[in-house]
């Protein structure tokens, strides 16, 4: 009996051991072959950590290297609202939420209640004080830090900065605080600018601390490419100033200005109103870039196409005569009248008709002589009805109703009615007349440069789309457009300049809404180029719905000052010698000078070199030898501007920096071994913490305040664009 009981127990124990053995084998198989991936992932999550490395977004610069958009330091305000661990009463966290919210609200531009709601969150121990405390500039972060509020901290981040505010904002676009591109070139060229994220993986202990030599893999970030535009900072500044002056004097729905080189298609300036500040794009009336994204009836500026086509087809004789006033030869259609209520000017020549912008003259040229097929062919050849291909997003192709055009439609198109165009199409088309007959592709990106190699991966060059008219036709059209501006009875007389022959054409069109013309609402424009026989610049100004006593005259009242200011200042800036109405050419003394190599020479020699170049100078230090200089030799300065000559490293007095750019301040501070520790605002120096004339020593800290108001007009210009 005992033996039997022992035998049973032995069998049971053996069975249990055997079953356990097979279970162990089965479990081992499951772990090693079936569930190995899941378990390995869990283990790796315990001992491995991976982090992304964000790339630096590429800078955007003008053609002369002026910074228009860049990534810089930013800071986010973080509130520790509860102790991280129970029982640690001395831990740094927000003790008094109400007091904290009241002190932070004015700095972060947030309502007190909004901050308080975040500070009193029930389910979190730490919160970011968004939106006002999210990615703030250093000067704001310093003010927050100075409050020394319990539980309030900052962590460093980066954000996109646009140093000149609304300057060329429709062209540049912007990225939001998350770094996501939204508009303009930022959006259209996002792949080029954003770069590629990097990563690294490292081993940690059970507490998450990185182990020595624990890095397993590393993939460096690839910074975004640098983009150089065709825009010229100074020309763009003339555009911005002219637009600001116009909007301060007149109420308009919109304004658009484009400045281009008709010989290359390069866009040197482009601006619109209303505008926005890409640093804080809130409450914006319009993000649309009207220069490329708005279709509108051009009015009489479109007559340049009809005129060019008629001359090219040898259907135009300037001395032929016709009866102006009313054209009533289209059966079943209302008469077409000249803009002076159909009164006309009697029997006049076609040259007079062009000068006076007679609708009847262009109906005869387009509808009667060219006829539908040839007129439409030239409209297409000049680039209308298709996109120009400029790199900006949202470009429209215009509105052309060729397939269902009746006789009245053909007649209307000949003088710019019943056709929709964009401003950039107009610039390209009239540029072809200015440059000798070649339609150039407009472009605004000059180069895209790989920051790793410094080499251009995209290098845009002028591209001829096609020849649209002959050089002889181009010359005849330029002469006629010159008469529009510079001869008696020409509609473009308000756009004439005293020192340059301007050739151009005015335009006035009624606003179309829901397929009907709106009484009393107009789009006024002027497109012109100069000098007439050797055009260097083309400027197009569009005034949308001016609110003035005589809105149909908005082109002359509002557009003329804009055009004249932008054109004249830009030609002078580009060192273009004036040509007078008498035909004489006036040689203008060069207004810029190359900075001489003064460093390493005696102080006397340095002064003499500065005077010989037409520059003023300021000596920094009491030595007899020029140790260093700013600007560097070879840079260009406006004549009369200041060259700094450093003659010693001690006992140097800080110069007056007012009106200088941030770049100038950094360069001058580097010469004197002074550290620029705080920069407030954007634009040009308004105030400096160390007063002018104070003696500075190595390591002194300088803070400056900038203001955009003096943009482009510093008290003493720094290096001029090359």
C-alpha–C-alpha distance, residues 472 and 577, integer Å: 25
Q: Which two tokens stand for residue 425?
A: 């199409």
The residue annotated as part of the active site, out of 166, 293, 300, 474, is 300
Instruction: Please tell me the predicted confidence (pLDDT) of residue 711.
Output: 38
Mean pLDDT of the chain: 85
Summarize the confidence of residues 486-497 as an average pLDDT. 93
Is residue 470 part of the annotated active site? The answer reads: no
Confidence label for 325 from pLDDT (cuts 50, 70 and 90): very high
- What 3-state class would DSSP assign to 327? strand
- Which CATH homologous superfamily contains domain 233-276+289-573? DD-peptidase/beta-lactamase superfamily (3.40.710.10)
**In terms of pLDDT, which residue wins out, 260 or 98?**
260
The domain segmentation of the chain, as residue ranges, is: 2-48, 53-184+213-224, 233-276+289-573, 592-720
Q: Which of 55, 99, 105, 111 is nearest to 77 (CA)?
A: 105
276-293 pLDDT, tens digit each: 889 888 765 567 899 999
353-388 pLDDT, tens digit each: 999 999 999 999 999 999 999 999 999 999 999 999
Q: Which CATH architecture has domain 53-184+213-224?
A: Alpha-Beta Complex (3.90)
- What 3-state class would DSSP assign to 673? coil
C-alpha–C-alpha distance, residues 494 and 566, integer Å: 14
**53-184+213-224 and 233-276+289-573 agree in CATH topology:** no
Instruction: Please tell me the predicted confidence (pLDDT) of residue 584.
Output: 38
pLDDT higher than 60, residue 31: no
Instruction: Please tell me the predicted confidence (pLDDT) of residue 342.
Output: 84
pLDDT higher than 90, residue 516: no
Does the 592-720 domain belong in CATH 3.40.50.300? no
Confidence label for 7 from pLDDT (cuts 50, 70 and 90): low
pLDDT higher than 90, residue 651: no
549-567 pLDDT, tens digit each: 888 887 889 999 999 999 9
Instruction: Please tell me the predicted confidence (pLDDT) of residue 585.
Output: 38
Helix 423-434 vs helix 303-312: crossing angle, to nearest 10: 30
> Across 81-95, 135-149, 375-389, 599-613, which has the greatest mean pLDDT?
375-389
pLDDT higher than 70, residue 40: no
Instruction: Please tell me the predicted confidence (pLDDT) of residue 253.
Output: 92
C-alpha–C-alpha distance, residues 178 and 198, integer Å: 17
Instruction: Please tell me the predicted confidence (pLDDT) of residue 262.
Output: 97
Lowest mean pLDDT among 21-30, 55-64, 251-260, 271-280: 21-30
Summarize the confidence of residues 389-399 as an average pLDDT. 94
Q: Which of 263, 354, 348, 347 is nearest to 311 (CA)?
A: 354
Instruction: Please tell me the predicted confidence (pLDDT) of residue 718.
Output: 38
Instruction: Please tell me the predicted confidence (pLDDT) of residue 474.
Output: 97
């Amino acid at each position: 009996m005992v033996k039997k009981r022992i035998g049973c127990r032995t069998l049971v124990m053996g069975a249990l051991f055997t079953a356990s053995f097979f279970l162990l084998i089965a479990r081992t198989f499951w772990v090693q072959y079936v569930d190995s991936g899941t378990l390995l992932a869990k283990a790796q999550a315990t001992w491995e950590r991976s982090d992304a490395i964000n790339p630096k977004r590429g800078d955007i610069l003008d053609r002369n290297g002026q910074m228009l958009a860049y990534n810089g330091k930013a800071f986010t305000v973080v509130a520790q609202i509860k102790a991280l661990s129970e029982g640690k009463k001395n831990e740094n966290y927000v003790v008094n939420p109400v007091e904290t919210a009241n002190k932070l609200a004015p700095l972060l531009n947030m309502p007190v209640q909004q901050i308080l709601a975040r500070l009193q969150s029930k389910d979190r121990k730490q919160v970011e004080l968004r939106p006002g405390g999210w990615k703030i500039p250093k000067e704001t972060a310093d003010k927050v830090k100075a409050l020394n509020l319990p539980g309030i901290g900052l962590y460093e981040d980066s954000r996109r900065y646009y140093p000149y505010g609304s300057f060329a904002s429709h062209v540049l676009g912007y990225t939001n605080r998350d770094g996501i591109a939204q508009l303009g070139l930022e959006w259209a060229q996002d792949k080029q600018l954003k770069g590629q994220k990097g990563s690294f993986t490292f081993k940690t202990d059970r507490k998450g601390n990185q182990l020595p030599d624990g890095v397993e893999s590393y993939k460096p970030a690839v910074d975004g490419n640098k983009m150089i535009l065709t825009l010229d900072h100074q020309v763009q500044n003339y555009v911005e100033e002219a637009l600001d002056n116009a909007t301060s004097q007149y109420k308009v729905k919109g304004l658009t200005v484009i400045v281009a080189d008709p010989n290359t298609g390069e866009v040197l300036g482009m601006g619109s109103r209303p505008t926005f500040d890409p640093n804080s794009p809130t409450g914006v009336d319009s993000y649309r870039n009207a220069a490329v994204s708005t279709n509108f009836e051009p009015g009489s500026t479109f007559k340049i196409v009809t005129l060019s086509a008629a001359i090219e087809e040898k259907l135009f004789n300037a001395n032929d005569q016709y009866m102006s006033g009313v054209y009533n030869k289209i059966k079943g259609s209302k008469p077409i009248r000249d803009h002076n209520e159909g009164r006309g000017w009697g029997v006049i020549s076609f040259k007079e008709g062009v000068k006076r912008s007679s609708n009847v003259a262009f109906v005869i040229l387009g509808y009667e002589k060219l006829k539908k097929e040839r007129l439409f062919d030239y409209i297409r050849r000049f680039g209308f009805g298709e996109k120009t291909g400029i790199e900006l997003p949202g470009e429209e192709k215009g509105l052309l109703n060729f397939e269902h055009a009746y006789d009245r439609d053909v007649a209307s198109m000949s003088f710019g009615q019943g056709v929709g165009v964009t401003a950039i199409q107009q610039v390209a088309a009239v540029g072809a007349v200015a440059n000798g007959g070649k339609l150039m592709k407009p472009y605004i990106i000059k180069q895209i440069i790989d920051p790793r190699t410094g080499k251009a991966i995209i290098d845009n060059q002028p591209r001829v789309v096609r020849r649209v008219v002959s050089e002889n036709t181009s010359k005849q059209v330029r002469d006629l457009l010159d008469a529009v501006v510079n001869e008696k009875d020409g509609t473009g007389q308000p756009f004439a300049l005293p020192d340059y022959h301007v050739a151009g054409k005015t335009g006035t069109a009624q606003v179309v809404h829901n397929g009907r013309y709106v009484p009393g609402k107009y789009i006024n424009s002027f497109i012109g180029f100069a000098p007439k026989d050797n055009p260097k610049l083309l400027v197009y100004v569009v005034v949308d719905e001016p609110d003035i006593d005589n809105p149909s005259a908005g082109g002359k009242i509002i557009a003329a000052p804009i055009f004249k200011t932008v054109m004249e200042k830009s030609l002078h800036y580009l060192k273009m010698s004036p040509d007078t109405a008498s035909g004489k050419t006036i040689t203008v003394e060069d207004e810029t000078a190359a900075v001489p190599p003064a460093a390493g020479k005696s102080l006397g020699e340095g002064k003499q070199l500065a005077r010989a170049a037409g520059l003023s100078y300021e000596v920094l230090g009491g030595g007899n030898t020029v140790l260093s200089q700013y600007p560097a030799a070879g840079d260009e300065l406006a004549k009369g501007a200041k060259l700094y000559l450093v003659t010693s490293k001690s006992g140097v007095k800080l110069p007056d920096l007012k009106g200088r750019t941030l770049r100038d301040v950094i360069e001058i501070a580097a010469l004197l071994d002074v550290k620029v520790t705080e920069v407030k605002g954007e634009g040009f120096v308004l105030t400096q913490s160390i007063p002018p004339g104070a003696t500075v020593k190595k390591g002194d800290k300088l803070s400056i305040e900038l203001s955009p108001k003096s943009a482009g007009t510093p008290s003493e210009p720094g290096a001029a664009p090359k």
